[in-house]
């Protein structure tokens, strides 16, 4: 059986570095808007009875002029799933509930309705199996076709070096995953979603890790450019009302269907970090 510990540490280091790059870029955007907003970092420790080293993470939160609320979280946790939950996780079971997980999770809700909200999450997990998963998706209250095109082009650029069918497969998966069944609408305009990219040896781990890194790099290359393009667009009360209603749909998805939210709640994660995805203001009609 492969000892995945060194691989987990490499993935963790990448997620931490990506967090630093993203937060620096978002703070730079705030400076360009005349704001001194900065991320506030809060460390948290996971607790699990009988586990001397359950891990934890760091929640990064910023509330500014451009980013009404943005959270960029990293964590590395280890322990055992509850027996009733273990069977729903790839490679885990009631008889083998152990896991290690490391990842980054980001959600940004913007002040200007013309600037899209966004989500990005990538992770590496080990149970009796080892795999990567995650993706990124754009969530505009007021969609612009050119922004959607630019974001999808970036996601395609992340995919193409790794598989000719990756973009078609994982953009379709995002379309299916980021869907609100009770509303019969998508959460946004899509992006990428993948899961269970299994690693069986060094070569498959390196290949999957390179793909996950490219998702992060392309997110960083594309989303800040969209923010800078739209952040000075004038908006009115009607635009804001549409944004608040849209945020309500976003909250519904994250609380009812999102796998990351469910995973965090089922594994004793930090509640504030798990629910940082919820918007600061929203409406329901």
The confidence score (pLDDT) of residue 285 equals 78
* Distance between CA atoms of residues 6 and 130, nearest Å: 13
Q: Is the residue at 191 inside a domain?
A: yes
**Regarding predicted confidence, which is higher, 191 or 274?**
191
Domain CATH for 96: 3.40.1500.10
Q: Is the residue at 167 inside a domain?
A: yes
The confidence score (pLDDT) of residue 268 equals 83
Query: By residue range, what is the domain housing residue 140?
Result: 5-277
Q: Is the residue at 282 inside a domain?
A: no
Per-residue b or e along 186-207, where b marks 16 or more CB atoms closer than 10 Å to that residue's CB: bbbbbbbbbbebebeeeeebee
Token pair of 265, please? 């709640």
The vertex-250 CA angle with 248 and 251, nearest 5°, equals 65
**Cβ 243 vs Cβ 141: under 8 Å:** yes
Q: Is the residue at 285 inside a domain?
A: no
User: For residue 1, what pLDDT band results from cuts at 50, 70 and 90?
Assistant: low
SS (H, E, C) the chain: CCCCHHHHHHHHHHHHHHHHHHHHHHHHHHHHCCCCCCCEEEEEECCCCCCCCCEEEEEEEECCCCEEEEEEEEEEEEEECCHHHHCCCCCCCCCCCEEEEEEEEEEEEECCCCCCEEEEEEEEEECCCEEEEEEEEEECCCCCHHHHHHHHHHHHHHHCCCCCCHHHHHHHHHHHHCEECCCCEECCCCEEEEEEEECCCHHHHHHHHHHHHHHHHHHHHHHHHHHHHHCCCCCCHHHHHHHHHHHHHHHHHHHHCCHHHHHHHHCCCCHHHHHHHCCCCCCCC
What pLDDT, in 10s, does the model give residues 191-208? 999 999 999 999 999 999
Q: Return the closest-CA partner of residue 224 out of 120, 132, 145, 121.
A: 120
CA distances from 233 to 56, 99, 119, 200, 280 (A): 39, 46, 22, 49, 21
**Cβ 63 vs Cβ 31: under 8 Å:** no
What pLDDT, in 10s, does the model give residues 7-27? 999 999 999 999 999 999 999
196 is catalytic: no
Does the pLDDT value for residue 209 go beyond 80?
yes
Q: How many domains does the chain have?
A: 1
Q: Is the residue at 245 inside a domain?
A: yes
**Regarding predicted confidence, which is higher, 274 or 164?**
164
Q: Is the residue at 222 inside a domain?
A: yes
Q: Is the residue at 283 inside a domain?
A: no
**Cβ 134 vs Cβ 143: under 8 Å:** no
What pLDDT, in 10s, does the model give residues 160-188? 999 999 999 999 999 999 999 999 999 99
User: For residue 260, what pLDDT band results from cuts at 50, 70 and 90?
Assistant: confident
pTM across the whole model: 0.95
Which candidate in 114, 119, 152, 182 is catalytic? Answer: 119
Token pair of 48, please? 């699990």
What pLDDT, in 10s, does the model give residues 42-63? 999 999 999 999 999 999 999 9
Q: Is the residue at 37 inside a domain?
A: yes
């Amino acid at each position: 059986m492969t000892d995945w510990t060194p691989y987990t540490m490499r993935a963790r280091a990448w997620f931490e570095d990506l967090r630093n790059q993203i937060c620096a870029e978002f703070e730079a955007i705030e400076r360009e808007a005349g704001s001194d907003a900065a991320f506030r970092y809060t460390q948290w420790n996971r607790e699990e009875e009988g586990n001397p080293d359950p891990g934890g993470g760091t929640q990064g939160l910023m509330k500014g002029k451009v980013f009404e609320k943005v959270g960029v979280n990293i964590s590395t946790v280890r322990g055992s799933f509850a027996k009733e939950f273990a069977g729903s996780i790839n490679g885990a079971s009631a008889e083998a509930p152990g896991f290690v997980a490391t990842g980054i999770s980001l959600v940004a809700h913007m002040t200007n309705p013309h600037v899209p909200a966004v989500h990005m999450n990538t992770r590496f997990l080990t149970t009796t199996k080892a795999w990567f998963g995650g993706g990124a998706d754009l969530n505009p209250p007021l969609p612009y076709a050119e922004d959607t095109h630019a974001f999808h082009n970036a996601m395609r650029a992340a995919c193409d070096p790794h598989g000719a069918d990756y973009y078609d497969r994982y953009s379709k998966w995002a379309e299916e995953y980021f869907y609100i069944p009770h509303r019969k609408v998508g959460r946004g305009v899509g992006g990428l979603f993948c899961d269970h990219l299994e690693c069986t040896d060094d070569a498959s781990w390196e290949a999957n890790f390179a793909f996950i890194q490219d998702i992060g790099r392309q997110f960083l290359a594309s989303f800040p450019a969209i923010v800078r393009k739209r952040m000075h667009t004038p908006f009115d009360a009607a635009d804001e009302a549409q944004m608040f209603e849209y945020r309500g749909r976003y909250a519904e998805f994250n609380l009812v269907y999102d796998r990351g939210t469910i995973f965090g709640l089922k594994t004793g994660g930090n509640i504030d970090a798990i629910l940082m995805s919820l918007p600061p203001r929203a409406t329901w009609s």
